[in-house]
A and B are shown apart, each in its own frame.
Chain A
Amino acid sequence: DSGVTQTPKHLITATGQRVTLRCSPRSGDLSVYWYQQSLDQGLQFLIQYYNGEERAKGNILERFSAQQFPDLHSELNLSSLELGDSALYFCASSVVPAAFGSEQFFGPGTRLTVL
């Protein structure tokens, strides 16, 4: 158990809908990262937050947005869902931003299925 929690574990929804994925980082970790893993693919970095502020952005679609709240939990919002958005979404956390060499701890992921 990494200490990072993600809810829900599974989510099934329809095209055009909007969903919110939630992540609680390990106690004391200030930085949160979101990754997308499509079927049999490596993880693609989406976005990073550090202590409530956006720190880095990867290949995140405009239909997707995220935020980190004062209690450091983070939410990833996916809207106007398409079939291709079906994937495993991981959250990871670290004490400080990645540039300082701290290890990232991954949550169990949320499996999103868009029908």
Chain B
Amino acid sequence: AQTVTQSQPEMSVQEAETVTLSCTYDTSESDYYLFWYKQPPSRQMILVIRQEAYKQQNATENRFSVNFQKAAKSFSLKISDSQLGDAAMYFCAYWAVAGNTPLVFGKGTRLSVIA
């Protein structure tokens, strides 16, 4: 079964600095998607960024970018110029194209932003 591991339960970053959140996953599939979701105190799940496994180029969305290492099964999220509004739980998720499998989530990393 696919698993997603987020080894950092909590992280903190100074406002305007850069922080990287780690995620590793285990799969035997070759075609899949990886996601980072943000869950602020409002508890709403917000998609931050998505990476398709067959694309070698790392995805970017404004201040958010990923480092996707397919061979190492690693998918880290880099947040640049951190803002107070970035404080939230961040969940890494995996989704295999074949087999109609659901999203598999990691347990999350709680990010604090220090003013």
Contact = CB atoms under 8 A, between A and B. Distances in A.
A58 B108 contact: no
A45 B103 contact: yes
B105 A43 contact: yes
Nearest to A42: B105
B45 A90 contact: yes
A103 interface: yes
A88 interface: yes
B113 to A, nearest CB: 19
Interface string B73-104: 00000000000000000010001011111111
Interface residues of B, number: 24
Contact of B106 (A42, A55, A103): A42
Contacts, number: 60
B103 A55 contact: no
A101 B97 contact: yes
Given A99-B97, A101-B33, A45 B102 contact: yes
Q: Chain B's interface: helix, strand, loop or mixed, by majority?
A: mixed
Interface stretch (A20-28, A61-69, A104-112): A104-112
B43 A99 contact: no
Interface string B34-52: 0000000011111100101
A104 B4 CA distance: 18
Contacts of B52: 101
A98 B95 contact: yes
B44 A109 contact: yes
A99 B98 contact: yes
B45 to A, nearest CB: 4
Interface in A39-71: 40-45, 48, 55-56, 58
B103 A43 contact: yes
A42 B103 CA distance: 11
A43 B45 contact: yes
Q: Which of B45, B97, B98 has the most CB atoms of chain A within a 10 A radius of its CB?
A: B45
Nearest to B96: A99
B105 to A, nearest CB: 4
Top 4 nearest A-B pairs (CB, nearest first) are A42-B105, A106-B45, A45-B102, A43-B105
